[in-house]
């Protein structure tokens, strides 16, 4: 089967993976409104009126023409690392459920693409193991102690042949009750509800590594993250796996970027499936994007080769979008290259979408 776009890997993964594993990777919180919105907001917003009238509004391009785009530079620098494109791999848990090589295969694919992968605290491979997969591996370990309810709803249990490397030495199997999974019970006991911005400041006293705050969706938290000393911000709703009805990340991005005022880089995580999505995120002020589900779905379908293909397809689509928009480098991608539904908030929506040149 010839794969023509990133989204096709989800259907293949659904056929190959056990239902429990696929549901873990694919599902979101509660009714999954935010999960759907993460994807749909790149192209449309559905407004459901009481009279059952729905409008479709798009984030559209405003391309420039007659610009020499024979040479396009997609390289950028993230936290001191020069990478080939502003497309990176998000921290995705338990990748060995998708493929026996798990994070190893993903790391090799990221290295071949000249980009960065982030390693989840719920990884099934250790930092040392990933680092040993080969030269040129560039990655960060990201930790979180937030657990999503979908794990409990689906009575998720870690396959017996896998280990969470950051939890080795803890006998998770004996921590659970008979009606629950040991993993779920253990994690539930590890959630610290007292975490605050003071903890971000404390982290800076024990490490010289840059600290990125993930999960920011508002201007208020963006400002607090900067005040707390964050080196960067990731606009994320954690793959829509935590709180349903929060905004899609692309919808929240511009608010956070404006609040950051260029003091720290802002990245986007969630819903990216096309190179056009990458362009829209950068036009709204993101310094780069992270992809998660496309990685595990392609990993399940074709292993390392699948992840390589996902990164290559997104790169080629993004490069084509830059060319057709008249942009030769990332710095030439500006807010003027797109028009969004919120550019004209006072337009009469019942008259349909109206997109006028930005003044």
Which residues carry a binding-site annotation for glyoxylate? 24, 143, 238, 241
Helices (H) and strands (E) in the chain, counts: 13, 13
- In this structure, how many other beta carbons lie within 10 angstroms of the beta carbon of residue 190? 11
- How far apart CA 120 and CA 171 sit, in angstroms, is 20
- How far apart CA 85 and CA 81 sit, in angstroms, is 11
The residues annotated with a catalytic role in the active site are 238
User: For 78, phi and psi rounded to 5 degrees?
Assistant: -125, 115
Sign of the CA dihedral with 73 first, then 78, 82, and 83 last: negative
Sign of the CA dihedral with 328 first, then 266, 35, and 290 last: positive
Given the DSSP bridges, would you call strands 212-216 and 232-235 parallel, antiparallel or unpaired? parallel
- How far apart CA 119 and CA 93 sit, in angstroms, is 8
User: For 345, phi and psi rounded to 5 degrees?
Assistant: -65, -20
CA distances (Å), origin 86, targets 7, 74, 267, 321: 19, 7, 9, 14
């Amino acid at each position: 089967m010839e794969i023509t776009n990133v989204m096709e890997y989800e259907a293949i993964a659904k056929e190959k993976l056990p239902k429990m594993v696929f549901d873990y990777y694919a599902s979101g919180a509660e009714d999954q409104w935010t999960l759907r919105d993460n994807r749909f907001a790149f192209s449309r917003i559905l407004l459901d009126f009481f009279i059952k009238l729905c409008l479709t509004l798009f984030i559209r391009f405003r391309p420039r023409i007659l610009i020499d785009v024979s040479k396009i530079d997609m390289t950028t620098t993230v936290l001191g690392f020069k990478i080939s494109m502003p497309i990176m791999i998000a921290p995705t848990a338990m990748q060995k459920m998708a493929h026996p090589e798990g994070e190893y295969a993903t790391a090799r694919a990221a290295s071949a693409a000249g980009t960065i992968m982030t390693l989840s605290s719920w990884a099934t491979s250790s930092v040392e193991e990933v680092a040993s997969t080969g030269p040129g591996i560039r990655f960060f370990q990201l930790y979180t102690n937030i657990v999503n309810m979908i794990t409990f709803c689906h009575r998720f249990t870690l396959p017996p042949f896998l280990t969470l490397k950051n939890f080795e030495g803890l006998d998770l199997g004996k921590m659970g009750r008979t009606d629950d999974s040991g993993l779920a019970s253990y994690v539930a006991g590890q959630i610290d509800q007292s975490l605050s911005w003071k903890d971000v400041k404390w982290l800076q006293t024990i490490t010289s590594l840059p600290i990125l705050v993930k999960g920011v969706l508002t201007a208020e938290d963006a400002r607090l993250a900067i005040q707390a000393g964050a080196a960067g911000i990731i606009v994320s709703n954690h793959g829509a796996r935590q709180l349903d009805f929060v905004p899609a990340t692309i919808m929240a991005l511009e608010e956070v970027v404006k609040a950051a005022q260029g003091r720290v880089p802002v990245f986007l995580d969630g819903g990216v499936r096309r190179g056009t999505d990458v362009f829209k995120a950068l036009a709204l002020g993101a310094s780069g994007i992270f992809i998660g589900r496309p990685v595990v779905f392609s990993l399940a379908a074709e292993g390392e080769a699948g992840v390589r293909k996902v990164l290559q397809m997104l790169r080629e689509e993004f490069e084509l979008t830059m060319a057709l928009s008249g942009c030769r480098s990332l710095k030439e991608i500006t807010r003027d290259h797109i028009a969004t539904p919120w550019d004209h908030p006072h337009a009469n929506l019942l008259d349909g979408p109206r997109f006028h040149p930005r003044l």
